[in-house]
Structure 1
C-alpha cells in the first residue's frame, strides 16, 4: 500500500531507490561496506562475537546463586536461544553476503526487521519479547567491539562509494545522521536520504546539500513506517517521501528526475560565464567546502575561490582524538594547492551545538550535558578555552599560507575581549613559527558575524578585521531564539523576518562604508530566491556549496542592481516577513 510521509525539503531533486535503514539512535554502530573478499572474514567476526556472548551467558547461568529467582535462569535461556536463532544469525550473514555490510550494520539492519515483526504480533507476551532480542543484539555489538573489530575495520573500511556492486539504487533512511557520519556518505551509492529529525539549516542538512543529493529531514515517523528494501521516492523539492509507489506515480517521478538532470546540465554551461549583473556589477561567487578533496568540485563549478573551509570536519570521525599540527597543515595545504592560486578562506574549528566531537573530548567532556549546546562552549569559545589546540591550528593555517592565498576566519565572535584574545593567540603562533624558521605569508583575518551582538556592534569588528562574513544560519537562529536543528519550531525559522533583514543590511552597509570586504556564507547565499535581496543590499560576494553556484549565477546574470536597490527601502520598512518578501516577488517571477 502506498503511503506518503511529509518532512522538510533540504536538498532539491528526485531520488528513487530501495530503502536502507540504519540503526536507530538507541544503537551506536559504524556503517560501512566491506570488499567482496572480506565477506567470509566479516562473517567470522560475527561468529566469534556470537560464541563470546554464548560463553558469557553460560558463565552467568553457572554463577547464579542458589536462591536466585528461577525467572532469571529462564531469561538467560531465552537469550541463548535467540542468540542461535536462524532468524537472527542466518539473516545477518545474508546482509553481509548480499549487501557487503559490515557485521555491526548487518546486525542493526536485521534487528530493525525483527523489531517490526514483534511490534505486529497480537500476543502481548510475544510482543514484549522485542526487548530480549534488542538486549541480545546489544551484547553482540559489544562483543564485536571487544573482539578486535577496529583493526579489521581499519584494514577493510572504505567510504560507501559508487563501486558498490548492487544493481538497485539505494536511499538512506535514519532517525538522524550526525554531520560527522554524513561525511561517510559523500560520493556514496545512496541516491538520497530521509531522517526523522532535523531542520532546514541543521548542519546535517547543510552537509546533505554538499552531497548534492535529494534529502528530506524532520519526517518524524519515516524510519518506523519504512521497511528495509521498500521502494521509496524522495521528493526533495516538496519535502515528500512516497513509500511503495504505484507504477503510474513511479513513472511520473522518473520523468521529473530526467527533467531535473537536464536542467542541471543546462545550468552547468554557465561555468565559464563571468558573474556580472545586467548593469555591469561584478559579483564574486565562492565555494563552501568541508574537506580538501571538495576543492576540485569548487573549481569545476567555476568558483572564484573558497569562501568557507569548515575545518571542524577534520576533527570528526576520530574517536575524540584531535588532528595534530602536521596533519592539519597537510590538509590545508592540499586545499590551497588544489585551488591553484585562488583564495581559500579557512575558518577555525567550529565545534559544539550540533557538531560535537566524537565521544567528546578535552573541555567538551565537561560540558557534554549542557542544557543548551547552541549557547554553550562552542566555536571561538571552545578554541580560547583550549589555547594550545588553538595555537596549533593557527600555526597549521599560517604554514599553509606559504603555498597560496589564505584568509583566516574566526567564528562566533561577540565580545571585544574575544577579539583581543584571538589576535594575541595569532601573534604568538606567528612568533613561534618565526622562532622555528618556518615560512608563512601575511593572511587577512576576518570575523564571522553570526551573533546579533556582533551585528549590532559591527563598527568594532570592521576596525579590527580585514573582512567580515555573515553566517546567516546562526544569525537567524540566535536572532529569533530558534534551535535550527529542531523540526518542532522549524516553521518559525524565517530568513525574511524584519529583524534578520535589518541586521544583515546594517552589517553589509557598515563593512562597505569602512572599505572592508563582506560576504555571506550561510544558506541564504546559495538560495536564488534571496539573491535579488542581497544584491539590493549591496552584497557582491556570495559563498555557497559548489552545486548551488550555477543557479545563483543565473539569477545574477538576469539582475539589475540599480532597480533592485529601489525596492530595498520597502522591504526594510515592513513589519511582517510576507511584506518583506513582496517587493521582490515580481522580480523573482520575472527572473524565473
Structure 2
C-alpha cells in the first residue's frame, strides 16, 4: 500500500510512531426491530440492566484510578456518570421502547441522536463539543447491549511496534484508561476539536494526538505503520523508510529538548535584558492546580467555571449550588498556595445543555451567551458571584467577566457584584471587599472601545480564540472554514496590540489567555507588543518560558512595530518566523 498523509486538528504536541489499532464504534450497526407487546417490559429491563452495568463500570474505573492519572480523567468519569443518571438517558429511551416498541439498542440510539442534534446548536465551541460525552455514554451502554467492547491486542516483541496508535471515530476519556498501563503512543480520531475531552486528556497526558480527521478510521487499516505529528495535526500512514527515519530522529531530538526544558521549572521568567514576565496557567478543575504549580506557573490566569455546570443535561434545576461552587473555587485557591486565581464567570449561552430543549438560536455565537446570559439569569449569576467572593477569603482571587461589549453590561455586572457583597455581609460571610474585577476582551467592539473598560475595571484579559473568530467572522469549530482562522491577520494583530498598549497607558494589567499565549512561535511577537502576562495550559508553559529567556526586548520591540505596519499576510508570517529565529 502506498504511503499517504491526512491533515486534521493538532491538539497535543509531540511525535508518535507505531502500529495502528482500530477501535470500531458500537453505534454504527445496531439492530433495528420492533418488539411485541408482551416483550416490551423484558426489553425495558434489558436496557435498565445495561445502564446499571455501565454505572458499575464507571464506579470501578473511578475507584481504580492510578494516583498519577490526570485529574481530568476522574472528573470526566463523574460527568459520564451524571449523564448516565439523567432522565434524558436513563428514562426517555425506556419510554420510547414502551410507546414505539423499538428494541433497546434502537431506542437508545434514537434518543442519543436527538440529544446530539440539540448540542449541535450550542454557541460555545467548548460546550458544543460536550455532545461527544453523551455519544460516548451511549456507546458504552450499546457495548453492553451488543456484547462488544474495546479490546487491545497483546503486545509482541517486534522492535518499534511497542507503541500503539489508537485510530477511532471517537474515543471517550474513560476508555483511554485502558491504555494507561500499555504501550500507548498516541491517537487519531475522526471527530473532535481543540476543546474536545479527548483533546484535553491528550494535553494533560502529554500524548501526541490529531483529531477532526474526518475519515481516518475508514482509510487506515489494522496494523498499518502510522506517524502522528502532534504539532501540526498531520498523520502519515505507511511511511517510506526515509520518512520513518526522519521522524524517529525528530522524536529523539524532541525527547532531549523536553528533558532540557524540565530544568527550567524553577527558573524565573525574565528576558535577557532583565524584564520579568508573568506566566499563568489555564485550568478547568481545582485538580488541575498541582500540574500548574509543577510547570512553574505563578498563578491561575483563567479558571473556566463552566466545567462545574457540565453533565447536567436538560435540567436547569440541577445547576451546582452556591456551596458546591464555593467548595470548588476554595479548593483551587487553597491549592495555589497564595498565588492569585482568576475565576471567569459562567461562559455559556441560552441554547446550552442546562435547558437546551427550550432555547434555540439562529446564530448561537452571536446570541444570548456568557455575560448576556448571566445578566438575563440574575439569581444564578448572584449565586456564582457569592461563591467566588466567599473563596476570596481563602486567598487572592480575581473575577473575570466574559464577552463584555457595552458600558451598561459592565455597570450591571458590577452592580450585581455589589449586591452579592451586601448579601454576604448580611449573612456574616467573609470575603475580600477589594477583589479585582476584569473583562475578557474578545469582541472587536470591546477592543475598539477600551476607554470605557479601563475606566471601570482593574484588569483586562484578551481571549484571542473568540477575538479571532469574531474579527474574521468565522466559526472556529467549523472545519469548512478552519483554514480562514488566522491569528496573524493584520486586523487581529491591530486589535491585540491596541489593547495591550491601551492597558499599559492606563496602568492596568493586560494578559492574553487564548491559544496565542501558549504558542511559542508567537511569544516574541507578543513580547514585542508589550505583553507581560501570559496564561496558557500548563503543558505549554516551559516552552514559552524558554522563548522568554532567549528574548531581548530592545531588539524585539522595533522589529514588532515594523510587523504591525505590514498589511500582507505572507510578509507578516515571514517576519514573525524571522523574529523567532533572531
Question: Which of 395, 400, 411 is 2:402 aligned to?
Answer: 411
**CA deviation vs aligned residue, 1:328-348 (integer Å, no higher than 9, x gap):** 111111111111000000111
Paired position in structure 2 for 1:392: 383
Paired position in structure 1 for 2:277: 283
Unaligned runs of 5+ in 2: 63-76, 81-101, 113-136, 142-151, 156-161
1:307 aligns with 2:304: no
The structural deviation recorded for 1:588 is: 1.4
**CA deviation vs aligned residue, 1:375-411 (integer Å, no higher than 9, x gap):** 1222111211211111111111111111111111001
Paired position in structure 2 for 1:430: 421
Give the structure-2-normalised TM-score.
Answer: 0.73
1:348 aligns with 2:341: no
1:472 and 1:187 map into 2 onto residues whose CA distance is 35
1:451 aligns with 2:443: yes
Closer/same/farther in 2, CA of residues 231 and 378 from structure 1, 3 Å limit:
farther
Question: Which of 363, 367, 390 is 1:372 aligned to?
Answer: 363
* Greater displacement, 273-282 / 235-244: 235-244
Closer/same/farther in 2, CA of residues 366 and 185 from structure 1, 3 Å limit:
farther
Paired position in structure 1 for 2:268: 274
Paired position in structure 2 for 1:469: 461
Closer/same/farther in 2, CA of residues 408 and 183 from structure 1, 3 Å limit:
farther
SS of 1:533's partner is helix
2:367 and 2:176 map into 1 onto residues whose CA distance is 29
1:485 aligns with 2:453: no
**CA deviation vs aligned residue, 1:456-501 (integer Å, no higher than 9, x gap):** 0011111111000000010001000011111211111111111000
Closer/same/farther in 2, CA of residues 198 and 327 from structure 1, 3 Å limit:
same
1:501 and 1:557 map into 2 onto residues whose CA distance is 23
**CA deviation vs aligned residue, 1:303-329 (integer Å, no higher than 9, x gap):** 110001111111112334321111111
Paired position in structure 2 for 1:8: 9
SS of 1:377's partner is coil
1:473 and 1:424 map into 2 onto residues whose CA distance is 28
Question: Which of 349, 361, 376 is 2:354 aligned to?
Answer: 361
1:283 and 1:472 map into 2 onto residues whose CA distance is 19
The structural deviation recorded for 1:584 is: 3.5
Paired position in structure 2 for 1:330: 327
Closer/same/farther in 2, CA of residues 478 and 458 from structure 1, 3 Å limit:
same
Unaligned runs of 5+ in 1: 29-49, 63-78, 84-88, 106-133, 154-163
Q: Say if 1:455 and 1:503, in contact at 8 Å, map to a contact too.
A: yes
Output the aligned Cα RMSD.
4.0
Paired position in structure 2 for 1:440: 431
Paired position in structure 2 for 1:236: 230
SS of 1:400's partner is helix
SS of 1:366's partner is coil
Q: Say if 2:35 and 2:103, in contact at 8 Å, map to a contact too.
A: no
The structural deviation recorded for 1:579 is: 2.0
Question: Which of 486, 502, 505 is 1:510 aligned to?
Answer: 502
Q: Say if 1:328 and 1:396, in contact at 8 Å, map to a contact too.
A: yes
The structural deviation recorded for 1:548 is: 0.8
1:295 aligns with 2:295: no
Question: Which of 488, 494, 506 is 2:486 aligned to?
Answer: 494
Q: Say if 2:529 and 2:561, in contact at 8 Å, map to a contact too.
A: no
Number of residue pairs matched?
482
Q: Say if 1:198 and 1:485, in contact at 8 Å, map to a contact too.
A: no
1:346 and 1:216 map into 2 onto residues whose CA distance is 30
1:138 aligns with 2:140: no
